[in-house]
């Protein structure tokens, strides 16, 4: 009986066995990158997907999912405060946009009931109206304006953008979809 020679536990398969331990600087880098990617997604009004960020970090650092989660648990001090931990991992909750007293809203993301329209208020108090739509299987955001827009004006601009989208036209750059062009050619 011959014994297989392998230097790591787990057999001959490449990558089998125990993963190397991460240094403290690597663990800090994983936690720092996690928070940066979550915050970057939030700046654009997206609700970041925790699993997608963890998968990216696994690929970047060559570790397992369990190791990435351990790094986050170890180095994110907010995990004991449930509200802060949920905000760090899942993002800000999207609240319904009230019809009145828009000037007195606190920082956060507010969504209109009627249209795919969002009001994003950052911690400094600056406001941004965003129209969200899908064009050619990709999600896009069109910034309509800032604090100078009222709710009625923002809804009017969002309605115009929705009509362009329904007609087969991209509301950002006014390009047409191939099916809309074919229907326009068949009509003429």
Per-residue pLDDT tens over the stretch 104-113:
888 888 898 8
Q: How far apart are CA 54 and CA 56, in angstroms?
A: 5
Distances (CA, A) of 112 to 40, 53, 64, 175: 23, 28, 40, 26
Q: Which two structure tokens, joined as six digits, stand for 89?
A: 């991992």
| Nearest residue to 69 (alpha-carbon basis) of 27, 40, 38 | 27
pLDDT of the residue at 154? 92
pLDDT tens digit string along 73-94?
777 765 555 665 555 555 667 8
pLDDT of the residue at 135? 81
Share of the chain above pLDDT 70, in %: 71
pLDDT of the residue at 89? 53
Q: Which two structure tokens, joined as six digits, stand for 141?
A: 């955001």
Q: Distance from CA of residue 132 to its chain's centroid?
A: 13
| pLDDT confidence tier of residue 7, bands split at 50, 70 and 90 | low
Domain locations in the chain as residue ranges? 24-90, 94-187
pLDDT tens digit string along 15-34?
566 666 788 788 888 888 88
Q: At what angle do helices 50-61 and 65-75 cross, to 10 degrees?
A: 110
CATH code for 94-187? 3.30.160.390
pLDDT of the residue at 137? 77
Burial of 15 (0-12, 13-18, 19+ CB in 10 A): exposed
> Half-sphere exposure of 45 toward its Cβ, with a 13 Å CA cutoff?
22
pLDDT of the residue at 99? 81
| Nearest residue to 71 (alpha-carbon basis) of 57, 51, 52, 90 | 57
Helix (H) or strand (E) holding 184: helix 178-187
Helices (H), ranges, 44-150: 50-61, 65-75, 82-90
């Amino acid at each position: 009986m011959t014994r297989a020679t392998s230097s790591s536990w787990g057999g001959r398969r490449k990558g089998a066995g125990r993963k190397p331990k991460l240094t403290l600087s690597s663990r800090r880098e994983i936690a720092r990158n996690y928070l940066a990617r979550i915050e970057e997604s939030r700046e654009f009004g997206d609700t970041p997907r925790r699993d997608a960020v963890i998968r990216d970090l696994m690929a970047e650092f060559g570790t397992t999912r369990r190791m990435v989660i351990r790094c986050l648990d170890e180095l994110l001090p907010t995990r004991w405060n449930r509200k802060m931990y949920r905000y760090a991992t899942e993002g800000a909750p999207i609240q319904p946009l009230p019809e009145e007293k828009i000037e007195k809203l606190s920082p956060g993301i507010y969504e209109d009931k009627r249209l795919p329209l969002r009001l994003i208020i950052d911690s400094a108090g600056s406001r941004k109206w965003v129209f969200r739509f899908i064009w050619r299987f990709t999600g896009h955001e069109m910034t309509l304006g800032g604090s100078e827009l009222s709710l009625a004006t923002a809804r009017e601009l969002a309605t115009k953008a929705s009509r362009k989208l329904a007609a087969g036209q991209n509301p950002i750059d006014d390009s047409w979809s191939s099916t809309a062009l074919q229907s326009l050619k068949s009509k003429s």
